[in-house]
Structure 1
């Protein structure tokens, strides 16, 4: 007798453990580690995942229930991914099942329904069944209370069977096809079209899609005649949902590397050949040719018979990156990101799992792609906070990548023009191997950067968001037929509505934040909970009609730019890119139609590479400086340096203009000179003094509840538990209200733990988490434990 250790699909903390089940004799050869199975659990039947198989258990085998059935032919999880799930659940204080369900595509999450059917015909059960005029199978929830009561005796006696049926969110896609029978041909007479169509179908030995036949101009009537005569039969076939099926990618041969690129490539290939889990920090200025190094490294890895994983931080980056990878590697590339439909993502995932793709390109969750025999993992723009998941399980893609690299003995490349301080500090200590690319590829020079002091502009009488310097530069680009990229990291039309008589600002009723005015919808929106209110002509507080709007978002700036320059503008922010495929459509429009201005939030700040962009303007370089987070300076430097790198990447030289009210701030000043090293040293001095990362590790505890009192009680309790459990070298900051104290009617309090080495910390965190999991059931008090947080907000 064999037994399976199963993790069941329930997120409750009291079942966050392995359960043992018998493997029935008929399934012993079928069920493997990684299979989904249907198991009895109390009165229910639910889905679970096999994480181990053994030939003996510690309990009485007679009391162990058997697995009902397997839900897959092939396992959905590899042994490596099961091992990874256990590690992440432990490290990030998450339930095992939540990590497993994060690893797998949403399409594999099953929905269940209770079904009733007659076990055998004849007898009173069948009479009762027929008397209710029920079909062969009926879903329990469709029956009335009286019908259920009438059937209950027969369910108890076993004459009516009750079973749980699981259905996936997304299944394989089928299409109608035509298959030739190759029957001996008779006389077609004058039916020339039928004969022509039969020749066309028989050219395809297996099948031809009906849609393809109709696209070639044949009619359903002609098809029906061939089916009637027995020359063709209809069938349903599985088709792959390929989001890039209609796209043509021109072949892109490898480019010649310059001396810096050649050195970087050779260093990485050395590690690839030695099969070592070495982590490289590829620190290269914008436009230094990091992507070409990635491509040629992957080509080498593929030649060795291994696979590759390439992560990019945002969906807006994906279109251009996909183009380059598809042009270089063709159908060997699978793309995984949240912009795909469930079906498309499921089919791409299947393609990877079945070995049809050797290269995976995608955003954060792609780090869990079921690729085996990994030869290289690349994380582009490694400094980006989007690699950190903000919901449970709160993993960081770079940490997952490094774990997978150790399993496969393959290298990891972390690439960035502005590395995170943590990564650069590790390279300073020799934990990572740092490679510098100090020059742009093909002898291009970095763009000239100017800083405009907006307080001086205002004193001189220019109250517009566009300085005279930037306006003149844009006008010159329009005259020359060149393109401009403008960054404003704030969407909407205006920041808030205000009464000029009493100063009242409409706030979100659910959150401690003002509502943002969106002109297109003529509404006030909360960007945290989604609350929407109409714009009012009178003040809610004093009934004055002297209400106006203050602050500026991308929607308003678009209007200002159209009035100022009377030219075409493409705007990219969360409002314009909400619908599927809009990122790519907007960027294609900007490139193909040579639209003079691309205006957007930080989604346009990195990865974009257009030969005609010669001017970059940052309308408010101070936006990120004002966030209440110790990484504010670092995020400002990174954003400014990254967006500046969009200018002058090809034949034409570039210019960059930063508009700011803080021209003397070192993050802005050093971004102007692209001086990362000096910025690193200044920022590290601040971090050392304030005892923040990378000098200390962090854990952020955030408690939320509908009352302030409960939040304060809980955070006080957590503070006391930490004081008892950690050493006196650790620093506990708080309890204190979160920077935004209330979101979606939940008050939020937090504690920040800073530490260097706490051997028992994981055990303490799991105990605290378990305690508050129980409290959540009773009092709806929620605790979020974020290990190595990227935001302290």
Structure 2
């Protein structure tokens, strides 16, 4: 795992030192994608900021907020620019020493721009563009008027005359007045004030602005929009224009444009019920630039807006009543005793809590954190997606009350800042959140829990491609804290770590309830053909009817959303493809009567004729969850069917679907992999998997592992109450090892076979992770010639570096490519890749460090290319 290399790979962290009388320099992490350091001079009137402190710096024509790094600054060859302002007191930097160290490690290990890495550790509004606004106060306006007219008389003039204005202070007030930022206005952006284009520079302008604000001459705040958010905020909802037919397609295409984010935003709103208003708070999580993205949609009449009351927490679940903690099983008692012993020792330890589904891992977390709180310390609990696990947050609130802070994408920037302040002050010492919560500034942090540690969502797949599980281990090591990785189907990386002694194995082999693990039945679809519409075999249909008749609930799992996965022409056989991607076809969504590409978000009206030959006979392909929902409701009269996938469950709608099913207002819940995310439905006694073999044929060495994990997790939703459970796996590949071991709930047997299969693979024969190590270099761009040329150039450099490493004695290292990626084009960007593998991490790290300067963006516009590296990739697609 990543944390193994910390001691030998950690960037040396030193306090910036200055010679007496010399210009004071600091290295600043600026939130841009450029992979380089930026040095700034500290003007005499400012104190030397410590590492982790936020500072305001000029960057080109912009004014940005960056973070001081703990490395010695280098004097640039060109002009040396000065810091404009310090935003944090010297004794209270925004980032603690351990978080600064963690950011430096991430930038080094994941070969990521350091500014982008520091941005991960702070709320979006705390780092980036200086968004504050400034305006003259009444006193300031009067003082400026008096300074301009010494003969001014009257009460106002007498009061103003008492205010003395230095030359440069007066110039600051004059700029505000010229910009119309007078009393009662929304003010002028501070960033604009400090740019001073075409005007003589004002020394330390932001420092002067702060002092003027302290004297009451100006007002500086977050702006009118933030103050308004205290009670109301803008809400949006879609109109029916998108559903009005294909006549407006050109106009709609022009409004939506090629922006992948704008397409996704429109899709997000399209999937809400017509009467549902979605707040800008909820949208800002997945779409940070929502205000810019939504303007063309408003102008085209696709979306309308309204000022409405703000939800305090759009993902909050109903409160649970606090009760007596349940009695622990022998396995839980043993695991807790071991963890408490590690806590008492006060040294770092990583543990893998391998517990079968429903074995009570959460209760172990709760008891451990209760002891942490008794000692006056704090804890972080990471979950795959906070919106998918509201029950977990409420269980913690029921046990610990207001000590729990929940971080998720639905919080406004101000709410996130407030939450961070509460956490940093020790008022909320227990933090629950998704991937980014690993950076929470918890004082006296002693425990980090990573629940469902195998889940792919802990690995960020764009920007800084870090894995929160590994980052948690690195942070805990620096603090002598303990980490608990919990899962019924651990990642093979974590499982291999227990074999090598890097992680302690703790096992929960029984459920606290009297019911055992559910019985799993395999239905061979070669012998029992499923119904074309419902995809149910006769066996599964009978089981469903029996379950509902007994007053119980069932889950039907199909990891494919939409109505059908393809629309093909019966005349020429061609599929209706996305114009911007290399996917075979787009998915048809019945409710919207539109085709959608699930790779780039392209949306278009369902055609009446084939786009290739003009034929009028179009045939639907394989069914998705939307089609199965419709077919089940028709085939099973009287059975109440609900659906849980990305099309029905965005934002608050997700919690509403889960609560409705928990209240027994639906008999059958059909859904995608969202169903496997740790939900607890006591009424579910049957789980049916329609295509258990889906995903096995993907060209990725993790494909079999992912299928096994998904099947085992979704099967674990059955029989968690007081009645026994049953699972039916329908498959065309009944003899596959993933399916056979999932039937027996046999993780250990599967892990041994899969690890053996990953040994000595390819040419030269190397071990796939976790036995070996890998890094994937991806090259993308719109121009085929430019992408190919860049890939060949990088490929030659990689192979040269590998040859040098091998010549030095490290024979277990190799490179493959450049090759076209399995998905060769997404959103008009062509994709190629180079795979580097090594038996030991050291040689691979050496190759990547020497490759670093050749990565990043090159060129602009259509001929530009981007090269990024994904260390420890989760997917090779």
**Range that drifts further, 286-295 or 589-598:** 589-598
- Mapped to 1, the partners of 2:74 and 2:829 lie a distance apart of 45
Which secondary structure does the structure 2 equivalent of 1:270 belong to? helix
RMSD: 3.5
Q: Deviation of residue 639 (structure 1)? A: 0.5
Which secondary structure does the structure 2 equivalent of 1:524 belong to? strand
Q: Deviation of residue 581 (structure 1)? A: 1.6
Corresponding residue for residue 451 of structure 1: 522
Number of equivalenced pairs: 711
- Alignment of 1:733 onto 2:816: yes
- Alignment of 1:465 onto 2:484: no
Contact 1:703 1:750 in 2 (8 A): yes
Q: 1:70 aligns with which of 86, 101, 112?
A: 86
- Alignment of 1:22 onto 2:93: no
Corresponding residue for residue 606 of structure 1: 677
Corresponding residue for residue 542 of structure 1: 613
Map residues 199-238 of structure 1 onto 2, 5 A cutoff.
Answer: none
**Range that drifts further, 245-254 or 431-440:** 245-254
Q: Deviation of residue 536 (structure 1)? A: 1.4
Q: Deviation of residue 69 (structure 1)? A: 2.4
Map residues 505-654 of structure 1 onto 2, 5 A cutoff.
Answer: 505-513=575-583, 514-566=585-637, 567-578=639-650, 580-654=651-725
Contact 1:666 1:679 in 2 (8 A): yes
For residues 440-490 of structure 1, give each alpha carbon's deviation from its aligned partner in whole angstroms, at most 9, with x where no partner exists. 12342011110111121229x877501111111111111111111111101
- Mapped to 2, the partners of 1:34 and 1:5 lie a distance apart of 11
For residues 608-654 of structure 1, give each alpha carbon's deviation from its aligned partner in whole angstroms, at most 9, with x where no partner exists. 11211100111111112122211111111110011111000121110
Structure 2: tracts of 5 or more residues without a match: 1-20, 150-170, 190-195, 210-219, 232-309, 762-766
Corresponding residue for residue 308 of structure 1: 379
The normalised TM-score by structure 2 is: 0.75
For residues 203-224 of structure 1, give each alpha carbon's deviation from its aligned partner in whole angstroms, at most 9, with x where no partner exists. xxxxxxxxxxxxxxxxxxxxxx
Which secondary structure does the structure 2 equivalent of 1:415 belong to? strand
Which secondary structure does the structure 1 equivalent of 2:750 belong to? helix
Contact 2:625 2:671 in 1 (8 A): yes
Q: Deviation of residue 428 (structure 1)? A: 1.3
Which secondary structure does the structure 2 equivalent of 1:310 belong to? strand
Contact 1:4 1:50 in 2 (8 A): no
Contact 1:316 1:603 in 2 (8 A): no
- Mapped to 2, the partners of 1:506 and 1:484 lie a distance apart of 35
Which secondary structure does the structure 2 equivalent of 1:351 belong to? helix
Q: Deviation of residue 133 (structure 1)? A: 10
- Mapped to 2, the partners of 1:649 and 1:341 lie a distance apart of 36
CA 1:745/1:64 → structure 2, altered by over 3 Å: closer, same or farther? Answer: closer
Contact 1:450 1:656 in 2 (8 A): yes
Q: Deviation of residue 356 (structure 1)? A: 1.2
Contact 1:641 1:674 in 2 (8 A): yes
- Alignment of 1:724 onto 2:724: no
Contact 1:111 1:168 in 2 (8 A): no
Contact 2:565 2:588 in 1 (8 A): yes
Contact 1:173 1:240 in 2 (8 A): no
Q: 1:13 aligns with which of 34, 48, 52?
A: 34
The normalised TM-score by structure 1 is: 0.83
CA 1:301/1:502 → structure 2, altered by over 3 Å: closer, same or farther? Answer: same
**Range that drifts further, 752-761 or 469-478:** 752-761
Which secondary structure does the structure 1 equivalent of 2:395 belong to? helix
CA 1:462/1:776 → structure 2, altered by over 3 Å: closer, same or farther? Answer: closer
Contact 2:695 2:707 in 1 (8 A): yes
Q: Deviation of residue 539 (structure 1)? A: 1.6
- Alignment of 1:695 onto 2:766: no
Q: 1:746 aligns with which of 819, 826, 829?
A: 829
- Mapped to 2, the partners of 1:19 and 1:129 lie a distance apart of 29
For residues 499-537 of structure 1, give each alpha carbon's deviation from its aligned partner in whole angstroms, at most 9, with x where no partner exists. 112101111000001111001110000111111111112
- Mapped to 1, the partners of 2:504 and 2:316 lie a distance apart of 39
For residues 388-440 of structure 1, give each alpha carbon's deviation from its aligned partner in whole angstroms, at most 9, with x where no partner exists. 11012111111111111112111111111111111111111212111121111
CA 1:65/1:397 → structure 2, altered by over 3 Å: closer, same or farther? Answer: same
Corresponding residue for residue 483 of structure 1: 553
- Mapped to 1, the partners of 2:353 and 2:346 lie a distance apart of 19
**Range that drifts further, 593-602 or 662-671:** 593-602
CA 1:554/1:607 → structure 2, altered by over 3 Å: closer, same or farther? Answer: same
Which secondary structure does the structure 1 equivalent of 2:759 belong to? helix
Which secondary structure does the structure 2 equivalent of 1:703 belong to? strand
CA 1:607/1:634 → structure 2, altered by over 3 Å: closer, same or farther? Answer: same
CA 1:433/1:168 → structure 2, altered by over 3 Å: closer, same or farther? Answer: farther
Q: Deviation of residue 585 (structure 1)? A: 1.1
Which secondary structure does the structure 1 equivalent of 2:464 belong to? coil
Q: 1:712 aligns with which of 758, 774, 788?
A: 788
Corresponding residue for residue 870 of structure 2: 786
For residues 709-764 of structure 1, give each alpha carbon's deviation from its aligned partner in whole angstroms, at most 9, with x where no partner exists. 32222222222212221233212122211111011111111111110236454354
**Range that drifts further, 113-122 or 776-785:** 113-122
Q: Deviation of residue 672 (structure 1)? A: 0.4
Map residues 226-305 of structure 1 onto 2, 5 A cutoff.
Answer: 247-305=318-376
For residues 292-332 of structure 1, give each alpha carbon's deviation from its aligned partner in whole angstroms, at most 9, with x where no partner exists. 11110110111111111111112353211111111111111
CA 1:568/1:375 → structure 2, altered by over 3 Å: closer, same or farther? Answer: same
Corresponding residue for residue 501 of structure 1: 571
- Mapped to 1, the partners of 2:872 and 2:179 lie a distance apart of 60
CA 1:158/1:360 → structure 2, altered by over 3 Å: closer, same or farther? Answer: closer
CA 1:173/1:719 → structure 2, altered by over 3 Å: closer, same or farther? Answer: same
- Mapped to 1, the partners of 2:384 and 2:339 lie a distance apart of 22
- Alignment of 1:98 onto 2:174: no
Contact 1:288 1:438 in 2 (8 A): yes
Q: Deviation of residue 39 (structure 1)? A: 3.0
- Mapped to 2, the partners of 1:169 and 1:362 lie a distance apart of 29
Which structure would you say has the larger Rg? 1
Which secondary structure does the structure 1 equivalent of 2:453 belong to? coil
CA 1:599/1:44 → structure 2, altered by over 3 Å: closer, same or farther? Answer: closer
Corresponding residue for residue 431 of structure 2: 360
- Mapped to 1, the partners of 2:788 and 2:390 lie a distance apart of 46
- Mapped to 2, the partners of 1:169 and 1:491 lie a distance apart of 41
Corresponding residue for residue 10 of structure 2: none
